[in-house]
Structure 1
Amino acid sequence: MFEFTEEQRMIRETVRKLGVEKLGPRASEVDKSGEFPWDIVKILGENGILQLPLPEKYGGIGADTTTSCMVSEELARFCTTSSNLLCIQASNIKVISLGGNESQRDRFFQRLGKENQITAFALTEPGAGSDVGAMKTRAVRCGDFYILNGTKCFISGGAVADLLPLFAMTDPAKGLKGGVSAFVLEKGAPGFKIGKTEEKMGSRGVPASELVLEDAQIPIENLLGKEGEGLKIALGAINLTRLTVGSHGLGIAQGALDYAIEYAKQRVQFGKPIAAFQGIQFKIADMAMQLEAARSLLYRVAFMSDQGVPDIEGFSSMAKCLASEISVNVCLDAVKILGGYGYMKDYPQERRMRDAMSCLFMEGTGEIQRQNIARFLLKKS
């Protein structure tokens, strides 16, 4: 039976206290304004949360997959933006860890640790979402630089990030089989500008932006790994990113369930709290069962990842797909328990419903996850 360690439980309690006292009270305001909350970045940095996945010498604890998922879930119960930021940071730290040499890791991790800088993962393009092979962004070596041209879109945190692991074609003829390379694009690089920032349904605290590269310059020392190893590096981080996104969805849904239970205890109709009615009780029970089932699968796979179990891509797809879809289902039922009030912006349930929807698309749609799962099972049999 899986159990959190004493250290993990202490971290969770610290995060929960922070969520109740500082992060949760900001969630509604951040959603309404749609502005990036630098004050939340400061809080997360001061409390070492954004640095958790970093090695100890850079101010982190080298948080494993299980710990990252646990913190992501706990943050999302109170503030979707905070959890989103950790998911993005953990993913990019993993990318730099896998692809970077010692000098690169030292250079970039120093900035993430001491300077509290933030990251963004730049892969998606207007014509290359699920179909990564349709990538059009091109990188050409020119002396001591790579010159990049192309457009990335829907990049979470792209407009505010300091460091952006970015993927581009260096050899289009090879395509996904050795044609994609990974780089670290730095804020302020010549030829790099922010294009359109999307007006999103939910998760409004973290901007989803277009990145425009017009003869953008990236120094050769910012190439991660060798030319052609970009896809390998991205896939090396995919299990972590799927699981943190799944835990993010679980946290949103857990917050919705917590609120729905308290509301049901207090809301009186027909002379008694609606929690006394069997219809509401069954709905709450179903929500809890779904959450516990998804949570059990997700942490089982996270534990497998931490133990170095090979070939878990199919399981990480299962966990991400199940958790994200259950998150939406639970949040919808939470809205229903509040009735008309659940539809109103004065209450947090409609915000959680909108936020949960983003989990369906981040790190691969449910359809792509099912495709991965089927391939995994058919390959095994």
Structure 2
Amino acid sequence: MDFELNEKQKRWRAVARDFANDVVRPVSQELDGRTNPLDCFDWSIIEAADSCGMRISPLPAQWGGDSTDHLTQVLMLEELSAADMGVAVTLAGAWRTMRWLLAEASPQQLNNWLPRVSGNARGLLAAALTEPEAGSDNMLPYAGTDGGMKMSAVRSGGNWVLNGTKKYVTNANRADVIIVFARTDNEKSLLEGVTAFIVGADTPGLTVGTIFNKSGERLANNSELFFEDVVVPDSDRLGAVGGGLYSFGKHQRATSAYNAATVYGVAREALRRSLVWTRSRIQGGKPIHQHQAVGAYLADMLGAVDVARTYAWRAAWAADNPEHFNVALNAFPKIFAAEQSMAVVAKCMELFGGASIMRDVGVEKLLRDASVFLHSDGTNIILRQRIATWLGTIAEQDFDTLWTPG
């Protein structure tokens, strides 16, 4: 296994690092502190991401991108998140949806929709899955017909009519193109009765509801979406009827790696700030990093970040090389990174002492951000259930393949 990054990956990581330091870091703290969540989002950041090519980097050259692979996106997300998690989440949501379109959309759909994405410097995408009464049921997914999403899509000639509500959707109020999941057969399970549709944000009957006032990742907006007799032509159905969740799972193998990078980037920033602080803070006649207990904390923090990064890199690589992929790689990297990042930031706050809870210092922001991924894109407990269910299918004679894929 080769752990050396190629030149393209190194180049994009450098682009993301410069962007994070020059564009995001100077405004992150101020935007995070604004009272109205709408004001925390800044279009100038997205426009700057467009200017340097990051916004549409996963797209092929014919649509203005660079066909960056999953590992490259993970490298970029770590750099972005170290400056601000919300910016990383905003772009990650768009990138994942672009990749899904590239994998599942027909040539005609790509020709119809990708110019709209690539030609708009503010062009973001969203995927609408969660509903007020359906979160974990959608993620597992629940096998019964009495749970999960209720939003409906009913055939009407050559169209579908969508009705229902989506909730907690990243980029929902900012996206120009939205992938929407809806029940097309209430008599079947979620894996057989849910279909995906491509919907433009300007479609009649689609409106934005509450913009949620979150504690963390405030530079990313999450909101409700209301669908009232939204008419979508069958030509904008994404994939097979009833195959929406299967398609989503198949083509979103790097989701956990993306999420992991987004949160361990926060932990990396906590470690960086801790190193700077403990070298300058004098107690007991010397910088506190020279005290044995503090040094042990810093060592633990480094180990947690590095292991989370290594796991995410492996998961991203396996997403690009599916013969080496397994279910755990699309669940546990996020679980591990989220929980270890919380531990790293907690140590950071302890090292900063009373200063850590002062808003102008910025450390408490890291704790608020890190806490988001204890639930985002699936609660850690439901992701553990997915892994446990998969483990139950592994025959004893195949147990060793869990560690030696391929």
TM range (shorter): over 0.9
Match of 1:142 in 2: 156
Match of 2:216 in 1: 202
Q: CA deviation at 1:106?
A: 2.1
Match of 2:14 in 1: 13
Equivalences for residues 249-264 of structure 1 within 5 A: 249-264=263-278
Quote the Cα distance in structure 1 between the aligned partners of 2:275 and 2:165: 45
Q: CA deviation at 1:70?
A: 0.8
| Structure 1 counterpart SS, 2:217 | coil
Quote the Cα distance in structure 1 between the aligned partners of 2:45 and 2:349: 27
CA contact (8 A) 2:87 2:220 kept: no
CA contact (8 A) 1:95 1:236 kept: no
Segment of structure 1 superposing worse, 152-161 or 301-310? 301-310
TM-score by length of 1: 0.96
Tell me, yes or no, if structure 1 residue 353 matches structure 2 residue 367.
yes
Quote the Cα distance in structure 1 between the aligned partners of 2:328 and 2:125: 27
Quote the Cα distance in structure 2 between the aligned partners of 1:6 and 1:177: 40
Deviations, residues 222-280 of structure 1 (Å, cap 9, x unaligned): 11112111111211233222210111111111011111110111112233211121121
Deviations, residues 318-345 of structure 1 (Å, cap 9, x unaligned): 2121111111111111111111111111
**2:128 pairs with 122, 125, 138, which one?**
122
Q: CA deviation at 1:114?
A: 2.1
Quote the Cα distance in structure 2 between the aligned partners of 1:71 and 1:311: 22
Q: CA deviation at 1:99?
A: 2.4
Equivalences for residues 238-317 of structure 1 within 5 A: 238-309=252-323, 311-317=325-331
Q: CA deviation at 1:43?
A: 0.8
Quote the Cα distance in structure 1 between the aligned partners of 2:392 and 2:240: 32
Q: CA deviation at 1:163?
A: 0.7
Gaps of 5+ in 2: 139-146, 396-406
Match of 2:116 in 1: 111
Match of 2:68 in 1: 63
Quote the Cα distance in structure 2 between the aligned partners of 1:32 and 1:107: 39
**2:250 pairs with 228, 236, 239, which one?**
236
| Structure 1 counterpart SS, 2:174 | coil
Match of 2:31 in 1: 30
Deviations, residues 167-221 of structure 1 (Å, cap 9, x unaligned): 0001111122421000012112111111111111101111111111111222222
Quote the Cα distance in structure 1 between the aligned partners of 2:376 and 2:95: 14
Residues paired across the two proteins, number? 381
**1:215 pairs with 192, 214, 229, which one?**
229
Q: CA deviation at 1:94?
A: 2.0
Deviations, residues 287-334 of structure 1 (Å, cap 9, x unaligned): 111111121111112112212325522222121211111111111111
CA contact (8 A) 1:95 1:165 kept: no
CA contact (8 A) 1:249 1:359 kept: yes
Match of 1:49 in 2: 54
CA contact (8 A) 1:305 1:312 kept: no
| Structure 1 counterpart SS, 2:136 | coil
Q: CA deviation at 1:376?
A: 2.5
Match of 2:200 in 1: 186
CA contact (8 A) 2:179 2:199 kept: yes
Give the direction of change, closer, same or farther, for the CA distance of 1:111–1:70 in structure 2 (3 Å limit). same
Quote the Cα distance in structure 2 between the aligned partners of 1:311 and 1:379: 16
Quote the Cα distance in structure 2 between the aligned partners of 1:43 and 1:4: 25
Amino acid paired to 1:6:
E
| Structure 1 counterpart SS, 2:125 | coil
Quote the Cα distance in structure 2 between the aligned partners of 1:157 and 1:172: 28
CA contact (8 A) 2:63 2:114 kept: yes
Segment of structure 1 superposing worse, 187-196 or 264-273? 264-273
CA contact (8 A) 2:271 2:344 kept: yes
Gaps of 5+ in 1: none
RMSD over aligned CA atoms reads 1.4
Moved over 3 A (4+): none
**2:343 pairs with 324, 329, 334, which one?**
329
CA contact (8 A) 1:287 1:330 kept: yes
